[in-house]
């Protein structure tokens, strides 16, 4: 069952908002770096371009790498077979890490942290490379899947982002509220693109899970406000926005506020159109 579509104006307005929507994992460093309007050179905008679970590089037959493709710049190495030279470099890298870190899990955390830093500066290729190294060191490091999911989101590969973030969340055993909220953000974006009501349902389910675990999550409340707005529950959207704002005024989402004001004046009279 699908929701009735908004008017053309509202649909366009929602798309403009979502061109600016960020993934909350990195708000503390640079929200603008996670805008979906930032698009890698040569990337396709096809939201259905993703890596199926069946292409897990550890559990499936490898594919031959096309000439000229840098496997290290593909999420989880793209499921391609690496060349002998690339494998040798990997072995040398792992040996060096074994000498420099207490264990590979610690090394993986180190490279994931560096990757987030590069991503906050807009260096997506370098960040992808570092997240892949984190994955190579420890394929149970949720940060690797999370970060690569954020990059996929930036590149408008939303299904790929969902695939990767879900893998990270499964490792976290659904305990990471921030990742849960990030994943809901991607589902909401998918809904604005394809108007598939299942995406909206998934977003609601994730946000309710996040708020059950952490009722005072301002980010979750802000995204729940957006979800309510997309579901044409404007009054409830305002309630959730105010709840999030009261918890963390400095982290209020301006784009969501503008969308709310375009639909209805603030019931509390706190916010007004410019």
Res 180 pLDDT > 50: yes
The CB density around residue 28, as the number of other CB atoms within 10 Å, is 10
Which tens digit of pLDDT belongs to each residue from 196-227? 999 999 999 999 999 999 999 999 999 999 99
Residue 101 confidence (pLDDT) above 80:
yes
Mean pLDDT of 263-273: 92
Q: What is the pLDDT of residue 25?
A: 54
Least confident residue range of 31-45, 83-97, 251-265? 31-45
The answer on pLDDT for 53 being more than 60 is no
Cα 251 to chain centroid distance, Å, stands at 18
Reported confidence tier of residue 96, pLDDT bands at 50, 70, 90 = very high
Q: What is the pLDDT of residue 26?
A: 35
Residue 259 pLDDT exceeds 60: yes
CA atoms of 164 and 134, how far apart (whole Å): 14
pLDDT (0 to 100) of residue 86? 85
DSSP H or E segment with residue 153:
helix 142-154
Query: pTM for this structure?
Result: 0.77
Q: What is the pLDDT of residue 58?
A: 44
Write the CA distances from 151 to 222, 228, 248, integer angstroms.
22, 26, 26
Class of the CATH domain delimited by 1-37+176-274: mainly alpha
Give the Cα separation of 221 and 253 in Å (integer).
10
> What is the predicted pLDDT for the residue at 132?
96
Mean pLDDT of 121-147: 96
Q: Label residue 10 by pLDDT band (50, 70, 90).
A: very low
| pLDDT tier for residue 137 given thresholds of 50, 70 and 90 | very high
pLDDT at 61 over 60: no
In this structure, the dihedral spanned by the alpha carbons of residues 163, 168, 174 and 177, taken in order and rounded to 10 degrees, is -100
In this chain, the answer to whether the domains covering 1-37+176-274 and 40-173 adopt an identical fold is: yes
Domain 40-173 belongs to what architecture? Alpha Horseshoe (1.25)
- Does the pLDDT value for residue 40 go beyond 90? no
The domain limits of the chain are 1-37+176-274, 40-173
Q: Which residue has the higher pLDDT, 52 or 261?
A: 261
pLDDT for res 55: 41
What's the mean pLDDT when you consider all of the chain? 80
């Amino acid at each position: 069952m699908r929701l009735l579509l908004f008017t053309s104006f509202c649909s366009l307005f929602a798309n403009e908002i979502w061109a600016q929507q960020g993934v909350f994992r990195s708000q503390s460093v640079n929200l603008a770096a996670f805008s979906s309007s930032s698009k890698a050179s040569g990337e396709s905008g096809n939201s259905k371009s993703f890596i199926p679970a069946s292409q897990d590089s550890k559990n499936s037959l490898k594919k031959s790498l096309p000439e000229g493709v840098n496997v290290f710049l593909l999420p989880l190495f793209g499921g391609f077979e690496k060349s002998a030279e690339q494998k040798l470099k990997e072995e040398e890298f792992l040996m060096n890490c074994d000498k420099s870190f207490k264990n590979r899990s610690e090394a993986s955390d180190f490279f994931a942290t560096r990757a987030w830093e590069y991503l906050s500066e807009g260096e997506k290729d370098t960040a992808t490379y570092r997240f892949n190294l984190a994955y190579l060191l420890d394929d149970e490091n949720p940060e690797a899947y999370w970060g690569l999911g954020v990059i996929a989101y930036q590149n408008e590969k939303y299904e790929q982002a969902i695939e990767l973030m879900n893998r990270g969340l499964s490792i976290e055993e659904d305990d990471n509220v921030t990742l849960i909220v990030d994943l809901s953000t991607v589902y909401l974006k998918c809904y604005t693109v394809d108007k598939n009501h299942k995406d909206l349902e998934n977003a609601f389910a994730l946000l309710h899970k996040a708020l059950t675990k952490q009722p005072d999550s301002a980010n979750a409340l802000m995204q729940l406000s957006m979800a309510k707005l997309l579901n044409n529950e404007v009054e409830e959207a305002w309630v959730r926005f105010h709840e999030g704002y009261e918890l963390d005024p400095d982290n209020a989402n301006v784009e969501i506020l503008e969308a709310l004001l375009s639909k209805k004046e603030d019931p509390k009279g706190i916010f007004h159109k410019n």
